[in-house]
Amino acid sequence: MIILLLIFLIAFFIGASLASFAGCVAWRFANNVPQTIPRSFCENCRHALCFWQLIPVVGYLLQGGRCAFCKHKIPGHETLIEIVFGLFCGKIFLLHPDSPNLLTLFLSAWLLFLAWTDALKFCVPAASLYGGGAVLLLCHIDALAQRNAIDWCFLLLLFCLMKLFEQKQMFGAADTFVCLILSVLFGIQNFCFLLFLSCCLIILHYAFFHQKMLPFIPFILCSYLFFGCFFPQVINV
C-alpha cells in the first residue's frame, strides 16, 4: 500500500505539473507573450514568481489563493484543473504501475494544451496540433493497419460531415482534426460515446450560460477525462 501510495503521489505531481505547464504555455500563446522569456510572473502585477509559488496546487494553497506580492486573486479554476489532471494521471499509473501507458499520458497532455488554448483564444497552435497528432498516429501505426474497410468508410463519412460543419461555421479545422485523431485511435464506436457526451455537455453549458460561441475541444477533453476515470476501456489506446 505504501508503494502504491508513493506511485500515486508521484503520478499526481507529474499530472499536476503538466497541467500547470500547459496552462502557462496556453496563456502566453493567447496573450502573445514569448514562451521562453521572461520567467513566470503574476498576470496582474507582473512580479516574477518564486520557486515555491510555481509548485502545482501547493503554491496556490500557500498563498491563500492570492498573489503573495499584489494580493490579486489567483483564478481557482487553474488549480482545479491541476487537481483533476493529477488525479487522472494518478489513476493511469495505478492501473499499470509496472508499465504505465505513457502514450495515454502524452495524448492527455496534448488534449489539455489544445483545450486550454482553444478556451482562451478560440484557436490552437498549428505546430502543436499537427505535430502531436502525427506522433500519436506514428506510435499506433500497427493498430491502424488492423482497421477494417468498414472503419475507414465511417472515418471518411465522419470527415465529410465535419467539413460540412466547418463550411456552416459550426466547427473549426482544429476540432475536425482532433476528432479524426481520436476516432482513429479509439475506434468509431468508442469515439461516438465520446462525441455524444461532449455534445451533451455543450447543450448543458448553453442552457445555463446562453453562450453562442463555444470552443469545442474543452468539451472533448472533459468527456475524455470522464471516460478515463470511470470507463477506461473506452480510451485504452
- In sequence order, what are the beta bridge partners of 48? 41
Residues 202-228 have pLDDT tens digits of 999 988 888 878 899 999 999 999 988
> How far is the first Cα of the chain from the last one, in angstroms, to the nearest whole number?
27
Mean pLDDT of 98-123: 86
Q: Is there a contact between 224 and 105 (Cβ–Cβ < 8 Å)?
A: no
| pLDDT 10s digits, 128-144 | 999 999 999 888 887 77
pLDDT by residue (tens digit) across 167-189? 777 778 898 899 989 988 888 88
Is 83's pLDDT higher than 80? yes
pLDDT surpassing 90 at residue 90: no
pLDDT for 173 equals 86
> Stretch 16-36: mean pLDDT, rounded?
88
Residue carrying C-alpha cell 477506461: 232
What span, in angstroms and rounded, lies between the C-alpha atoms of 104 and 36? Answer: 27
CA distance 146 to 191: 17
**What average pLDDT does the segment 43-63 reach?**
88
Statement: residue 197 has pLDDT above 90: yes
